[in-house]
Amino acid sequence: MSSPDQPSHDPDPGHHPDPDDRPEPFGARLRRAMDSRGPLCVGIDPHASLLADWGLNDDVAGLERFTRTVVDALADRVAVLKPQSAFFERFGSRGMAVLERAVADARSAGALVLTDAKRGDIGSTMAAYADTYLAKGGPLFSDAVTVSPYLGFGSLRPALDLARESGCGVFVLALTSNPEGAEVQRATTPGGRSLAQVMLDHMARENAGAAPLGSVGAVVGATLGETGADLAINGPLLAPGIGAQGATPADLPGVFGPSVSNVVPSVSRGVLRHGPGPAGLRTAAARLADEVRAAVSPA
């Protein structure tokens, strides 16, 4: 890991052009970014309490100052930045303009951008959501987006197909850390599999044959302990819950088992509370990335 105040030696590990001009798959870009910059995703979650902690007003000016500070401090050194769309949407069109700039600026600085929107719908509506985040040239074009499969995994087809065409990724909710999720995700099918496992099996089929890593990821909470699920989907595993929600990097091997090397731990307040100074954000992100790397590396 680079020192807290120095960018990584590779300024742009996520955006190397493909020799034949086809987009390089997201999974390959993510693997390289994690290996180069450390396996860490930092959330950009400008909720009202964090704005107040930074001495900022809960308005568009505060939102913009907060977001720009995080992007400027971290986009040249962390593998993934994950803006939470809801905290921008609540300010209407001006908030979405801040998000558009943040996505573009972070990608330009070399971070992979995962927009956390958790979209899920059917048919032309799902296709419109896909166009929003996964169509090249769009104002919110991101490296990946989170989606919900609980209208049926097949409902995600427009996003899965456009992501493949654009070299992007899709992270599918599987086993989330919120207690309410269990009543749906751990419900069993007539064959005895949990609904979450059905979704994970779909993801594994989407990623079959991909190397070094598939581009369809699963969201699996780091706070869950033993999941009882087969997480070998040949794709990335986004793991929220490190830090304020109670999980630590040392918990990751116990939750993810043999798939731990594909985990992308997501941290928000554990880094953001060290602002508003950029040095504090960089130090916190570097420390956590090093702790995760040590926890997931083979002994």
Model confidence pLDDT, tens digit, residues 231-261:
999 999 999 988 767 789 999 999 999 999 9
Question: For 19-28, 59-68, 258-267, which range has the lowest pLDDT when averaged over its residues?
Answer: 19-28
The per-residue pLDDT for 20 is 59
Pairwise CA distance, residues 26 & 16, whole Å: 11
- pLDDT above 90: percentage of residues in the chain: 83
Parallel/antiparallel/unpaired status of strands 112-119 and 80-83: parallel
Residue 216, helix vs strand vs coil: strand
Judge whether residue 91 has pLDDT over 80: yes
Which residues does residue 80 pair with via DSSP β-bridges, in sequence order?
Answer: 41, 112
Give the 3-state secondary structure of residue 121: coil
Q: Which residues are catalytic?
A: 118
Q: Is 281 left (phi over 0), alpha (psi -120 to 50) or beta?
A: alpha
HSE-up of residue 114 (Cα within 13 Å, Cβ side): 35
Q: Residue ranges of the domains in the chain?
A: 26-168+239-249+265-296
For the segment 43-67, the average pLDDT, to the nearest whole number, is 97
Residue 205 has pLDDT above 60, yes or no: yes
pLDDT at 2: 43
26-168+239-249+265-296 maps to which CATH number?
A: 3.20.20.70
What number is the average pLDDT over the span 253-273? 94
Write the pLDDT tens digit of every residue in 66-75: 999 999 999 9
Least confident of 69-83, 148-162, 193-207, 247-261: 247-261
Q: What mean pLDDT do residues 152-169 have? A: 98
